[in-house]
Amino acid sequence: MASRTVLPSVTTKTVPRPAPNGMGNGLFATADINPGDTALHIEAPFVAILDTPRLEDTCAGCFGKRQMETGNELKACTGCRVVKYCDRTCQSKDWKFAHSLECPIFKNIKPMVLPNNARALLRIVLRSARNKYDPEEFKVFDGLETHINEISESQGQLDRITLTARAVKNYSGIDIEEGTVSTYAAKLDLNSFNLTTSMYDRIGLYLHPYAGLINHSCDYNATVGFDGAELYVKAMRPIKQDEQVFISYIDTTTPYDIRRNELKERYFFDCLCTKCQKGTDTFEDRFLSEPEDMTPLETAEREALELMQTATGSSTEHVEAIEKLEAAMHKLHETAAWPLTRQPYASLRDKLIISLLSAGNFTRAFIHAAIRYIKIDPVVYDKAHPIRHIHAWSLVRLTVFISQEGFQPDPQDPVQIKDFQLNFHYLIWYILAELASTQLESCTVPSFKKLVGNQFVQVHNEFKTNGLDPSKSRGVLAAEWQKLERLVTKALEKE
Ligand SMILES: C[S@@+](CC[C@H](N)C(=O)[O-])C[C@H]1O[C@@H](n2cnc3c(N)ncnc32)[C@H](O)[C@@H]1O
């Protein structure tokens, strides 16, 4: 049973305790937690802020949750015209939480809009000055790690924090020590999460001091997800009572050296996790064969990374980005030793899928999403990992799209889907059935599970209306899947 803590809005099967190996405090399970179970649920954030580009298209009250259901066009706050809401319900929720305090400040400094971390810091300063925080919650915030000594050794980092703190103090008009605001800024830097949609797209910054107590492992047993403003930490693997709950702070699909540098630079620690103890002897570092001379692999990696960087620049057109990403993937493929799962190959494909979608090339996006589903995700992610489920959902959506009557594939596509005579309806049913049957142990959030459940029922009922039940046609499903696997093999040969 999850229990409420002294902190309002926190329900959890964990307790904070000192952790070993110089980790400071961490969260430990108070009971056995099964995969997919919620280890921690936080209803309301300490602070949550949209990234500046998202202020235009995302409701600052529900962070997209109600927006998805109502489909309302967003209306700007008539005071500042900086934030937008679905309707009065979302607006008044945010007004009471903090917007009433910041709205006149936003209005005064227009047309400038403060960057996300400054807007988050401003909220903390304003809410704490008006005693809007629960004292227990603030006590946990006060106790959070800052690494201020390490930050002080880096002039660049120190300057950034000091300047943000000075600006926020001035805008707030609150009589508060600048040093205190700097400390808040350092806590925010170290302990905040990427606020994401239920589909794991980043939309902003989130902080809650209780969630800030979770330590990192590259071999993590839990994941963090958001459903609107609600945070969920779910077990990805079985967690025994008294075991520490770990999440990943970084992309742990990257090789050993990259992971360790990132953790050291951003979080100031050397990871001693079970994966790091294996050094470079894990799939993240392995090549298909170990050549005596590493130079060609290093050259291919450097060139691929350069191409990836220019492809994702803000001024790059979709078509140009696609060419660059494909060229980068080709360089890795040409080495004949680079596994599809070794970074940056997998990330290049993720970016390529997004660029192909933006350019309206749905058939090629479908092929890459199928490659990812069949060849990459089962190696890179645990079964319950939310990203694996989100990728499966994207494949379903793409298959639905290209199976529409009248859809015309691009005749220039290097692999022609029509040559494989896929029965898209059976494929959609198959992927959805797999998703629906693993919902319980998946780490996805409730809105996502609802979406999948509803879609599966709809697709299954369509089959039933036609007197068919795919669950009883295993042979047909297997044959369709083999066709898709042949398509994937063909596409990979051409990469
Ligand atoms: C978000 S805080 C986590 C809570 C923190 N342990 C505390 O007591 O407030 C991040 C910091 O915790 C410590 N930490 C997290 N994971 C760690 C690990 N695997 N090994 C060592 N230190 C870790 C590092 O100091 C890191 O900068």
Could you report the per-residue pLDDT of 412-448, keeping only the tens digit for each? 888 999 999 999 999 999 999 999 999 999 999 999 9
Residues 455 and 457: their CA atoms lie apart, in Å, by 5
Q: What is the pLDDT of residue 1?
A: 66
Predicted pLDDT of residue 154: 86
Verify that 100 and 169 share a domain, yes or no. yes
Q: How far is ligand 1, taken at its centre, from the CA of residue 263, in Å?
A: 10
* pLDDT range class, residue 290, cuts 50, 70, 90: confident
- Ligand 1 center to residue 35 CA distance, Å? 23
Please indicate, yes or no, whether residues 484 and 460 belong to a single structural domain of this protein: yes
Clarify whether residues 37 and 57 are in a common domain: no
Query: Which residue, 138, 163, 194, sits at the end of a domain?
Result: 194
CB of residue 378 inside a 6 A radius of ligand 1:
no
Question: How many Cβ atoms from other residues are within 10 Å of residue 175's Cβ?
Answer: 7
Mean pLDDT of 324-344: 96
- CB of 217 closer than 6 A to ligand 1? yes
What is the pLDDT, as a whole number, of residue 315?
A: 74
The answer to whether residue 427 is domain-embedded is yes
- How many angstroms separate the Cα of 21 from the Cα of each of 217, 220, 271? 12, 16, 9
* Residue among 15, 269, 273, 274 to mutate when testing ligand 1 (max atoms within 8 A of CB): 269
State the pairing for strand pair 25-29/202-207. Answer: unpaired
C-alpha pair distances (Å), 186 with each of 155, 164, 167: 14, 10, 15
- The predicted model gives 167-182 an average pLDDT of 97
What average pLDDT does this structure show over 87-114? 97
Residue to mutate, 17, 23, 217, 245, ligand 1, most ligand atoms under 8 Å from C-beta: 23
**Four-residue CA torsion sign, 299, 302, 305, 306:** negative
**Residue 2 pLDDT level (bands cut at 50, 70, 90):** confident
Cβ(216) to ligand 1 under 6 A? Answer: yes
461, exposed or middle or buried, with CB in 10 Å at 0-12, 13-18, 19+? exposed
Nearest CA to ligand 1 atom 14: 23
197-225, pLDDT tens digit by residue? 999 999 999 999 999 999 999 999 999 99
- Would the CB of 182 count as within 6 Å of ligand 1? no
Summarize pLDDT for 35-79 with one digit per residue, the tens.
999 999 999 999 999 999 999 999 999 999 998 887 789 999 999
Residues 340-359 have pLDDT tens digits of: 999 999 999 999 999 999 99
Distance from C-alpha of 141 to C-alpha of 187, rounded to nearest angstrom: 8
Question: Is 55 in the same domain as 37?
Answer: no
The DSSP 8-state label assigned to residue 389 in this structure reads H
Does pLDDT of 285 surpass 70? yes
Distance 24 CA to ligand 1 centre (A): 6
Q: How confident is the model at residue 24 (pLDDT cuts 50, 70, 90)?
A: very high
Residues 35 and 54 both lie in one domain? no
Range of the domain at 230: 3-44+208-277
| SS3 call for 116 | helix
Weakest-pLDDT range from 103-107, 133-137, 231-235, 287-291: 287-291
Of the chain, the percentage scoring pLDDT greater than 90 comes to: 91
Q: Which single residue is written with the structure tokens 């980043």?
A: 202
> What residue has token string 């921690």?
40
Q: Based on the domain organization, do 413 and 425 belong to the same domain?
A: yes
Tell which of 230, 245, 277 closes a domain.
277
**Residue 248, both tokens:** 């990943």
Whether 486 and 355 map to the same domain: the answer is yes
123-143: b (≥16 Cβ within 10 Å) or e: bbbbbbeeeebeeebbebbee
Residue 268 near ligand 1, beta carbon < 6 Å = yes
303: in domain:
yes
pLDDT at 409: 87
Per the structure, how many domains does the chain have?
3
Concatenated DSSP letters of 315-368? T--HHHHHHHHHHHHHHHHHTS---TTSTTHHHHHHHHHHHHHHTT-HHHHHHH
267 lines ligand 1 (CB under 6 A): yes
Give the end of a domain, one of 194, 220, 242.
194
- Return the beta strands (E) in 121-248 as ranges: 193-196, 202-207, 215-216, 222-227, 230-235, 246-247
**Claim to verify: residue 61 and residue 128 sit in the same structural domain:** yes
> What's the mean per-residue pLDDT of the chain?
95
Residue 288 within a domain: no
Asked if residue 283 belongs to a domain, the reply is no
Task: Taking the CA atoms of 304, 306, 312 and 318 in sequence, report the sign of the dihedral they define.
Answer: negative
Shared domain for 184 and 310, answered yes or no, is no
Pairing relation of β-strands 14-18 and 25-29?
A: antiparallel
Task: Tell me, yes or no, whether 289 lies in a domain.
Answer: no
Indicate whether 290 belongs to any domain.
no
Q: How far is the CA of 188 from the centre of ligand 1 (A)?
A: 14
pLDDT in tens, 483-492: 999 999 999 9
Q: Look at residues 382, 392, 493, 404 and name the one whose alpha carbon lies nearest to residue 449.
A: 392
Query: Do 310 and 432 share a domain, yes or no?
Result: yes
What is the CATH number for 246? Answer: 2.170.270.10
Verify that 177 and 214 share a domain, yes or no: no
| Cβ(305) – ligand 1 distance below 6 Å | no
In whole angstroms, give the CA distance from residue 187 to residue 139.
Answer: 13
pLDDT of residue 90: 96
> Which tens digits make up the pLDDT trace of 357-406?
999 999 999 999 999 999 999 999 999 999 999 999 999 999 999 999 88
Q: Is the pLDDT of residue 286 over 80?
A: yes
Is 271 in the same domain as 325? no
* pLDDT higher than 90, residue 128: yes
